[in-house]
């Protein structure tokens, strides 16, 4: 309280001095002491000027502090004005806000640094009236799409119209799907776009994330290798554990001086079991070697419809036995450069997969069709089978994974590897009334 009242004491003291000096001047003039009175009046004037300057500096300091807070400018240092004790609360408020701003700036720098080091294209838009401004664009987006860090949406639209038009067509709503973007007049590239909208403190933000399909594929491949190691470890342990246990038992038996008929029977059963498990391991390793040592395709000019028709003829006895109707809906001729033997293996694997999916279905139909788009040929095999369970969709192409008791689990994996060796890809789509496998090849 004392600190807050000190300025009033100083003002009161100055006012007393001014009034006293004025009174003294009047008294001196009344006594005809003109020069002394003039000097006293001059002193009064100096006191008055000093009080004016004191009040002006006090109010200017107050206005300056308030203006700094309102303008979010915390570059000033008011520590030298500690004598203005009545402003101590204001200076404390200024200091607290300054600390908060420094903390916020530090967090912003850290957040921006994190976002700039993420290998995903990120744009954050901020709505102002009916227009969108670019609140943030990370370095990956700017470099990957060769776009300068502009501040307005329409500037970005001039630089990257293929992306902006898709977002505008969706009305800046949340979405997640793949799209193709032409970057810097080069070939189109495929990306996965994911957007979200949020609102905070009456501010609307729209967040755009862009991931390259290649990056997504690499992530999937890494996950596939982890799963593969689990499968291999499981298969090896399933064989090695009983072999190890049986070998220990045999070692104990052969250490005996005399062997009974029961011991001999145990030895026979143990050897037979070890032989069976060894054969299983050999088959497993052979299957793995078949996948790992896939020869490079020997491409030759091959007519697509004839290749498919030959595969259908090979499978026809099995289709007839299972009462499966196969329709070849390819109504055009197209020459492609492929290894006909390897591609025949792919089609037979896919048709076999469809055949097993139809085992428990009343309507057993397989349709083979094809279409040409953007210098690519898409061969589509559709069946009316049971489809693929959602729980195992991510394991379909995993080596040695199978849901069939007599399956080896390498058919789809081998097919995928062959198609990729030809520069294409193999994909599937799970529907309500069956499954659709798509083979994509370059012309």
- Predicted confidence at residue 1, as pLDDT, reads 39
8 A C-beta contact, residue 199 and residue 103: no
Residue 140: which pLDDT band, with cuts at 50, 70 and 90? confident
- The Cα 284–Cα 290 span in angstroms is 10
Q: Is 166 exposed, middle or buried (0-12, 13-18, 19+ CB in 10 A)?
A: middle
The stretch 125-146 carries a mean pLDDT of: 87
For the segment 435-440, the average pLDDT, to the nearest whole number, is 88
What pLDDT is recorded for position 243? 77
User: What does the pLDDT look like over 32-63, one tens digit per residue?
Assistant: 777 787 887 888 888 788 777 776 766 666 66
Which range, 4-13, 26-35, 298-307, has the best average confidence (pLDDT)?
Answer: 298-307
429: region left, alpha or beta (phi > 0 left; psi from -120 to 50 alpha): beta
Among 125-129, 353-357, 384-388, the range of highest mean pLDDT: 125-129
pLDDT confidence bin for 299, thresholds 50/70/90? confident
| Mean pLDDT to the nearest integer, 194-220 | 79
Cα angle value 284/232/295 (rounded, 5°): 55
Return the higher-pLDDT residue of 161 and 443: 161
3-state SS, residue 192:
strand
Length in residues, the chain: 443
> What is the mean pLDDT of the segment spanning 190-213?
84
Band (pLDDT 50/70/90 cuts) for residue 290 is low
| Range of lowest pLDDT (102-116, 229-243, 345-359) | 229-243
Least confident of 22-26, 172-176, 409-413: 409-413
What was the pLDDT predicted at 108? Answer: 78
pLDDT of residue 4 exceeding 50, the answer is: no
Q: What is the pLDDT of residues 325-373, one digit of tens each?
A: 988 888 888 888 888 888 888 888 888 888 888 887 888 889 999 988 8
pLDDT at 186: 55
* Domains, the chain: 2-100 (no CATH), 118-212 (3.30.450.20), 217-292 (1.10.287), 300-442 (3.30.565.10)
**pLDDT at res. 289:** 65
Question: Where residue 2 falls among pLDDT bands split at 50, 70, 90?
Answer: very low
Q: pLDDT value at position 125?
A: 92
Question: pTM for the full model?
Answer: 0.42
Strand pairing category for 325-328 and 365-373: parallel
From the list 86, 6, 78, 16, the residue with the least C-alpha distance to 47 is 16
- What are the residue ranges of helices labelled H in 183-212? none
Average confidence (pLDDT) over 277-303: 73
Angle at 224 between CA 222 and CA 225, to 5 degrees: 65
Q: Give the pair of three-digit tokens for residue 233.
A: 């470890």
Please report where in the chains the tokens 């293996």 appear, as a residue: 345
Name the phi and psi angles at 23, rounded to 5: -60, -40
Which residues, including other chains, have CB under 8 Å from residue 308's CB and lie 6 or more apart? 328, 330, 347, 368, 379
The average pLDDT across 150-161 equals: 86
pLDDT(306) > 50:
yes
């Amino acid at each position: 309280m004392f600190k807050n009242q000190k300025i009033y004491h100083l003002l009161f003291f100055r006012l007393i001095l001014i009034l006293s000096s004025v009174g003294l001047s009047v008294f001196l003039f009344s006594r005809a002491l003109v020069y002394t009175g003039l000097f006293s009046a001059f002193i009064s004037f100096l006191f008055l000027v000093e009080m004016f300057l004191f009040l002006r500096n006090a109010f200017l300091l107050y206005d300056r502090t308030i203006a700094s807070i309102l303008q979010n400018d915390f570059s000033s240092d008011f520590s030298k004005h500690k004598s203005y004790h009545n402003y101590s609360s204001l200076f404390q408020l200024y200091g607290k806000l300054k600390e908060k701003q420094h903390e916020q700036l530090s967090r912003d720098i850290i957040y921006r640094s994190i976002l700039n080091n993420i290998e995903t294209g990120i744009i954050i838009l901020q709505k102002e009236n009916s227009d969108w401004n670019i609140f943030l664009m990370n370095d990956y987006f700017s470099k990957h799409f060769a776009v300068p860090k502009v501040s307005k949406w329409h500037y970005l639209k001039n630089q990257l119209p293929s992306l902006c038009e898709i977002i505008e067509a969706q009305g800046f709503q949340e979405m997640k799907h793949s799209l193709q973007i032409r970057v810097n007049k080069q070939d189109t590239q495929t990306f996965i776009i994911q957007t979200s909208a949020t609102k905070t403190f009456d501010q609307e933000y729209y967040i755009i994330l862009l991931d390259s399909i290649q990056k997504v594929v690499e992530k999937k491949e890494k996950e596939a290798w982890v799963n593969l190691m689990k499968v291999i470890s499981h298969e090896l342990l399933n064989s090695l554990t009983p072999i190890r246990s049986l070998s220990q038992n045999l070692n104990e038996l052969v250490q005996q001086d005399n062997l009974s008929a029961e011991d001999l029977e145990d030895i026979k059963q143990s050897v037979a079991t070890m032989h069976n498990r060894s054969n299983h391991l050999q088959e497993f390793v052979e299957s793995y070697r078949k996948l790992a040592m896939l020869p490079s395709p020997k491409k030759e000019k091959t007519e697509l419809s004839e290749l498919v028709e030959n595969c259908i003829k090979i499978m026809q006895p099995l289709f007839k036995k299972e009462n499966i109707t196969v329709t070849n809906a390819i109504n055009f001729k197209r020459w492609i450069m492929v290894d006909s033997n390897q591609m025949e293996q792919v089609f037979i694997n896919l048709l076999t997969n469809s055949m097993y999916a139809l085992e428990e279905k009343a309507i057993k139909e397989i349709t083979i069709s094809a279409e040409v788009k953007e210098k690519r040929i898409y061969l589509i095999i559709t069946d009316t089978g049971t489809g693929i369970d959602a729980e195992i969709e991510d394991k379909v192409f995993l080596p040695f994974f199978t849901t069939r008791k007599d399956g080896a689990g390498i058919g789809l994996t081998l097919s995928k590897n062959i198609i990729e060796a030809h520069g294409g890809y193999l994909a599937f789509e799970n529907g309500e009334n069956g499954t659709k496998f798509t083979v994509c090849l370059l012309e």
